[in-house]
Structure 1
């Protein structure tokens, strides 16, 4: 059902509905069943949401379906660490370079013994370890408060997913203890791991992702509430790392084909940011071999091509994004054939 009268009459909503219908029948990929609770996801779930920097919302499909944020939490917690400690301290713990490896690889920078970037599991665990607070509860609350600023609503941890991640997290424990051995994280290894597992198990919707993306697109200010979720001078740090490292070992091809800062998660979500314009949130749990949602990647590729969203694009777009958002009549009814 449409979310508002604007959704009924907006050209962009018509476009998104056609795009949703085009890829709804795509059944390729598999769910992330190595985390048992994620393996229960319905493969038909599919939602698309766009929020622009004026606070307009466009959404189709299963946009109200909850799922866990997983690795999409990483750039936002990285931004929180930057606010707490500044660039130099964070850089001493976590590097900036893409790895070309899988997101859960047990690999550190050989020169500095630090994780290569904050978007792989090693870097995210190190970033989570930097969170301030007298105990684990206070540190988790800091994360939840931050996401409240980004989304404009209270988010909670999905406890069954958290327990499932904790029970199957041996590889992440190996990564954490390797970093502890090299002095990259503190002595509170198990506490940090528990917070990290909970951080990844926060429940969101694709509309939440779009709102988070729109907040980054809006220089860190939530376009609905007007609250500053992250200091504006750290937004470029977060977006830069999302652009170079956010899509696992598909990051190079993503930058080539889509050309937007983005982050994916193994529950099937992708958040993408069009700086100064909008945030895009997509959810579909069927993943490719690299851990990215197949439908979400297809949708983002088509959006980037049709609306000329690639940051380095020189090709005339098929449609004008601002026109599609603002016009009160359904002029835009056709979609690209792909």
Structure 2
């Protein structure tokens, strides 16, 4: 990897897209609607722990659905890939992340751990003695992967808990089909908390760099996840990481990714590192508009598409 080329690619992407005004903040969660829409940051963390940043990379934002990746990592660690796959699945729904129709079409069974239904099922799958134990395990996993102490935002959590009635209904549907592995309201509560923690771009990129580095945090040196489980997790990200835009993302960028309605976006380049972007305005699917443009630009400039090949 050419360091100067990378720095130039990151700076170019930031300058080119930081003033794009497309998209809107998530409005259905009051806290997210109030985040300044102009905030924009981009960060790269390598598998050797190098960090390159530009823009508002120190700003702490709500992790939201990117938390699904971390909880999935914990479930894989506790249960193994086969059990998680058998119980939760690995297929794109083709429908919005909070779709009830996706459940109805498949007998109330989740298809992916990266949509709300599958994510709550994943949270319920964590081996725990009650809600607090479950929550503390997930928070510890978030901190281990980020390489710093991740904190819950009371303001975000309060805002989310007041607006999670739809998710409670999904949790009950999961229970009715035998796809919920704890009390459904407990799973919904803990899931809501895991989405309400705060990350900055460096912490998010470090999380991705763990996956790029075979499950080892390149900053702390701690082994978070066994290397044989990482490809399973990255496959889930490639399949459903950007919801209905996941196929387009694979076509245009070719990297496992995961978005959150707080404006965060993560992309993993196996054996190289991870890119993390933050910008609150979202497209209709719930993905950061500037984040997608910036990461796509860097990935294209660095020739990081996993599907690239050359003639032999």
TM-score (norm 2): 0.95
Structure 2: distance between partners of 1:109 and 1:212: 33
User: What is residue 189 of structure 1 aligned with on the other side?
Assistant: 184
- Residue number among 60, 67, 72 corresponding to 1:73 in the alignment: 67
Native 8 Å contact 1:308 1:315 kept in 2: no
Bigger Rg, which one: 1
Residue 223 of structure 2 corresponds to 228
Partner of 1:310, secondary structure, is coil
- Are the aligned partners of 1:133 and 1:139 in contact in 2 as well (CA < 8 Å)? yes
Deviations 1:49-74 (A, max 9, x none): 00011110000100000001111011
Q: Secondary structure, in 3 states, of the residue corresponding to 1:37?
A: helix
Number of the residue aligned with 1:330 = none
Alignment match, 1:324: none
1:194-235 CA-partner distances (Å, limit 9, x unpaired): 100000001101111110111100000011111011111110
CA-based RMSD of the aligned residues comes to 1.6
Instruction: Give unmatched runs, 5+ long, in structure 1.
Output: 1-8, 317-338
SS of the residue aligned with 1:312? coil
CA distance in 2, matches of 1:89, 1:112: 19
Partner of 1:141: 136
Conserved? CA contact 1:113–1:182, under 8 Å: yes
Which one is further off, 67-76 or 89-98? 89-98
Matched, 1:264 2:250: no
Report runs of 4+ in structure 1 exceeding 6 Å deviation. Answer: none
Cα distance in 1 for residues equivalent to 2:108 and 2:30: 32
SS in 2 for 1:232: coil
Q: Please list every run of 5 or more consecutive structure 2 residues that lacks an aligned counterpart in the other structure.
A: none
Distance 2:309 2:82 in 1: 36
Contact 2:112 2:118 in 1 (8 A): yes
Give the SS at the match of 2:53: strand
CA distance in 2, matches of 1:46, 1:220: 28
Whether contact under 8 Å (1:179, 1:185) holds in the other structure is: yes
Q: Matched residue of 1:43: which SS?
A: coil
* 1:142-201 deviation per Cα after TM superposition (whole angstroms, max 9, x unaligned): 011111211111101111111111111111111101011111114511111110000000
Q: Does the 8 Å CA contact 1:176/1:189 hold for their aligned counterparts? A: yes
Whether 1:255 aligns to 2:236 is no
Which residue of 1 is the match for residue 294 of structure 2? 299
Matching of residue 239 in structure 1 with residue 226 in structure 2: no
- Residue 201 of structure 2 corresponds to 206
Q: Could you give the per-residue CA deviations for residues 249-302 of structure 1, whole angstroms, max 9, x where no partner exists?
A: 000000000000000000110010000001111000010111110001101221
Equivalent residue number for residue 281 of structure 1: 276
